[in-house]
Structure 1
Amino acid sequence: MDNEASTPQGTPVIAAAKPATGPKIPPREAAVEALMRLAAEQPWNDIEIGDIAREAGLSLAEFRDLFPSKGAVLGGLARMLDRKVLDGDTTDLAEEPTRERLFDVLMRRLDAMAPYKTALRRIAYALRGDPLSMLALNGVALNSHRFMLAAAGINTEGPLGRLKLQGVVIAFARTVETWLDDEDPALARTMARLDKEIRNGERLMERAEDARRLTAPLRAIGRSLLDRRPRRSSATRDETDGDPAAVI
């Protein structure tokens, strides 16, 4: 038999089977998955970069080439989630109202987050009292949700684009707070919260659009006055440019 060997005494022995090995995932993804496994089992503040590297099967040098810090690995997770949502087919949403398109895209993001729910819950609680980390994560979220809005066919350019984008980031963060504690497989509470947040955002944008229309004449006058102000000579520009304090 192929899987048998004989001892010197002639007694057959079953040879040990080789362990099955699955496909090797890319190092960046391996580091993200390693952090999520660790964060699901131990406090966030106890996890060191060396722990992540070992869990991912990477050397510290390899890890350093991928990420500069533990927090940056969370940014890697955000990009992985972006990709999972963006790889999905959203052509069936083309004829839906804007609210429905955004709702569907954000629910798809929550679906992509589901395998990491335990880890994300523990991380969220750990970072809740860390304003610097929350500010950094807001920047990551802005980049991610720019693509989520694009997937929903919603423009983020123009004077109100930044407001629209930040509004969606806040709405989704509030929804995630509900999602982290929602154990219902149907996610009824989460969906209700997301619908509420999107409707609140719509009302905010309507008020912002109204305010922008009302202030349009004032902004036109301001631009006109700026266009009429005397231009500095090139000599004056040479003396002051490069040092903001020189104009005082």
Structure 2
Amino acid sequence: MTDQEFEVALVDAAFALGGEAGWSRVSSAAAARHAGLDLAKARGMFTCTGTILKKFGHQADAFALTGAAMGGSVRDRLFDILLRRFDYLQVRRAGVAALMRHLPVCPPMAVALAEMNIASMGWLLEGAGVDATGLRGAVKKRCLLAVWLYSLRVWAEDDSPDLTATMAAVDTALARAEGYVLRLSPSSRPVEPEQEAHVPEAEPPKTS
């Protein structure tokens, strides 16, 4: 088993365990035991539960960015990337839902996950062809995070096989964000593929 395969196996085991027993029972060692993985290797690669969440975010981002659409408007590309990230979460739905329930009672984990999500939004923006560097990039990342968290709350209640409600939520959130920017700047126009995209601010981000 390669290191990458080991990481995937342990992260999947952690989310499976979280879905079955709750996240208070999740640790690197517990996840390794759950999957029958080598404890010494788990200790070397996953120093804490935060490492599991960080690796999970990396894997979700990689899944969303691999084969992402390159044509169409920036809004279309962001829609595609966000839906691909939800596809990754959907396979691990029970564990993600359990994590969302656990965060309000574990502030340190919630704060750490919020910072990880900000970094992830930067990668998703860059994947859609949007510059996410500097001060303006920091604003864009937080705006996209607001869109993501709004849609995440809908996804958590969406039991349709094709995630119809989630797709509608992503589309609505992106449209509202775009409209918000147009109201703030009347001279703005809908973003075209060759233009720099500004991901507008939707709602104040909440940790999920």
Query: Deviations along 1:50-103, whole A, 9 cap, x unmatched?
Result: 211212333433112111111320111111111112222423xx2x12211111
1:103 aligns with 2:82: no
1:154 to 108, 127, 130: 130
- The amino acid across from 2:154 in the alignment is T
Partner of 1:125: 101
Provide the alpha-carbon RMSD of the alignment.
2.2
User: Residues of 2 paired with 1:43 and 1:158: CA distance?
Assistant: 38
Partner of 1:143: 119
User: Residues of 2 paired with 1:28 and 1:105: CA distance?
Assistant: 23
1:42 to 21, 26, 47: 21
Instruction: Indicate if the aligned counterparts of 1:138 and 1:169 stay in contact, CA closer than 8 A.
Output: no
Instruction: Indicate if the aligned counterparts of 2:68 and 2:127 stay in contact, CA closer than 8 A.
Output: no
Partner of 1:173: 149
Q: Output aligned runs, 1:6-25, within 5 Å.
A: none
Query: Deviations along 1:128-163, whole A, 9 cap, x unmatched?
Result: 343332221111111212111111112213432111
Query: Deviations along 1:192-226, whole A, 9 cap, x unmatched?
Result: 2112221232244456768xxxxxxxxxxxxxxxx
Query: Whose RCO is larger (CA < 8 A, sep 6+)?
Result: 2
User: Residues of 1 paired with 2:53 and 2:102: CA distance?
Assistant: 14
1:184 to 154, 157, 160: 160
Could you say if the C-alpha distance between residues 43 and 159 of structure 1 is closer, same or farther in structure 2, counting changes exceeding 3 Å? closer
- How many matched pairs? 185
Could you say if the C-alpha distance between residues 155 and 174 of structure 1 is closer, same or farther in structure 2, counting changes exceeding 3 Å? same
- The amino acid across from 1:29 in the alignment is V
User: Residues of 2 paired with 1:157 and 1:49: CA distance?
Assistant: 33
Identity of aligned residues (%): 27
Partner of 1:164: 140
TM-score (norm. length: structure 1): 0.67
Gap runs ≥5 in structure 2: 187-208
Partner of 1:226: none
- The amino acid across from 1:169 in the alignment is L
Partner of 1:76: 55
1:26 partner SS: helix
- The amino acid across from 1:152 in the alignment is A
Instruction: Indicate if the aligned counterparts of 1:90 and 1:151 stay in contact, CA closer than 8 A.
Output: no
Between structure 1 and structure 2, the one with the greater Rg is 1
User: Residues of 2 paired with 1:110 and 1:67: CA distance?
Assistant: 24
Could you say if the C-alpha distance between residues 209 and 49 of structure 1 is closer, same or farther in structure 2, counting changes exceeding 3 Å? same
Gap runs ≥5 in structure 1: 1-22, 211-248
Partner of 1:114: 90
